[in-house]
Amino acid sequence: MTEVRYRSDIDVELIDHMGGDHSIVRAARVSSGTAGTPEKDRGLLNMLARDRHGSPFESVVLQFKVECPIFVAREWFRHRVSSFNETSGRYKVLEPEFYEPHGGRPMRQIGQPGKYAFEEGAYEQKVQVKAAHKRLATWAWDEYTEMLDAGIAREVARNVLPLSLYTSFFWTVNLRSAMNFLSLRWAHEESTVPTFPLYEIQQGAMKVEEHAQAIAPIAMEMFNKHGRVSP
């Protein structure tokens, strides 16, 4: 019998990329025609982020492979200015990987005492949440595999799988659109945008940001400096 596996992480692997700080500067300089020094390049990137001259940031393109539960992927796919290719439950047999809330630090708050209030949750709540996730995962996986064994179509059998199932997708996105994603999916302390992202997608956003910082460090510094608003 297949072993069902559990994960709590959001995995974001950098697959490919184009450009960096220099590409943004190069594209912006087409407009003004001025020459640059490293100091002037910093100043230009600062001005572009501050004054919302967004299009030069589209000269940097990132491609990621993301592994996350379906309930996270559903939010991610709302970002229309980017490209997606996802594992298909119609074309392949899916993998038995499911989400369970992790108990590490920082912790996923599982209690909701009021309409918009969250708290860590009591021990019994944690036990119940973990058990419920595991029961549904194993029950659903058993039904799924039994249907496949009985010759039932993959695209029908997968309907019983829960939103906690892991999926994987390629995400191609330019830096401007990635900044918009970050402004909405990470309630960063330097952010001026009021946003209340889902805990799990924020874990993914943090990893996207790390990759973006490695590729375009000055652009990302200016994004932070000017309130983390997409330019």
Tokens read off for 195: 């946003």
| Nearer of residues 9 and 118 to its own copies, judged by Cβ | 118
What dihedral angle (degrees, nearest 10) is formed by the CA atoms of 16, 22, 26, 32?
Answer: 140
Active-site position among 108, 158, 176, 185: 185
Residue closer to its own copies (CB basis): 158 or 188: 158
CA pair distance 227, 164, nearest whole angstrom? 33
Question: What count of other Cβ atoms lies within 10 Å of the Cβ of residue 86?
Answer: 15
Residue 100: its H or E element: none
Nearer Cβ to its own copies (80/105): 80
185 is catalytic: yes
CA atoms of 172 and 212, how far apart (whole Å): 13
CB burial of 177-203 (b: ≥16 within 10 Å; e: otherwise) equals: bbbbbbbbbbebeebeeeeebebbbbb
Q: What DSSP state is assigned to residue 107? A: P
CB 197 within 8 A of CB 186: yes
DSSP single-letter state for residue 64: E
Task: Give the whole-angstrom CA distance, residue 130 versus residue 123.
Answer: 11
Which is closer to its own copies, CB of 132 or CB of 214? 132
Using the minimum distance from each CB to its own copies, give the nearer residue, 8 or 224: 8
Distance between start and end Cα atoms, the chain: 52
Q: What is the DSSP letter of 61?
A: E
Q: Identify the burial level of 123 via C-beta atoms within 10 angstroms of its C-beta, where 0-12 means exposed, 13-18 middle and 19 or more buried.
A: exposed
Please list the active-site residues. 185
